[in-house]
Amino acid sequence: MARNAHAYALSANDLLSGAQVFWSTNGGWSTSFDQALFSQQSQALEPLGTAEEAANRVVGAALIPVDANRRPIALRDQRRLQGVSVAVRTTDNERSANANTAPALARAA
């Protein structure tokens, strides 16, 4: 039985921002999966991830197998491309939340 050959993209997290990044066709990291470099040879991308981690530019470098349409095969990678899946409080939201709970806290005291 013939084994299905997959292409791969190299993914990591930017060390400073924590953003998910992909090794791009321009030879650097990009936050856009559409600009990712795809390779049929996983061995071609692995040394790049190792070198970039050693240079302290990224952390968690990993290969993402993709299908013929260049979409991630694994559910985990599909979900990561969709972005944050929980609400993240921003400074404005925190101020608003604190303003709404402060009167209740004052009454309880």
Within-domain flag for 89: no
Within-domain flag for 107: no
The pLDDT score that the predictor gives to residue 76 is 87
If one counts the domains in the chain, the total is: 1
pLDDT score of 20 more than 50: yes
Within-domain flag for 33: yes
| Segment holding 60, helix H or strand E | strand 58-66
Strand partners for 73: none
The pLDDT score that the predictor gives to residue 108 is 47
| Structural domain range at position 70 | 7-84
User: What are the pLDDT digits (tens) for 27-44?
Assistant: 999 999 999 999 999 899
Instruction: Answer yes or no: are the C-beta atoms of 62 and 11 closer than 8 Å.
Output: yes
Which tokens hold the place of 24?
Answer: 């791009």
The pLDDT score that the predictor gives to residue 90 is 65
The whole-model pTM stands at 0.72
The pLDDT score that the predictor gives to residue 6 is 85
CB-count burial class (<10 Å; 0-12, 13-18, 19+) for 75? exposed
| Segment holding 37, helix H or strand E | none
Instruction: Answer yes or no: are the C-beta atoms of 16 and 59 closer than 8 Å.
Output: no
Within-domain flag for 36: yes
The pLDDT score that the predictor gives to residue 93 is 54
Mean pLDDT for the stretch of residues 47-58:
96
Dihedral sign (CA 74, 52, 21, 23): negative
Q: What is the mean pLDDT of the chain?
A: 83
User: What are the pLDDT digits (tens) for 92-108?
Assistant: 655 555 555 444 444 44
Within-domain flag for 108: no
Sorted by sequence, the CB contacts under 8 Å of residue 27 that are 6+ apart come out as none
pLDDT score of 109 more than 60: no
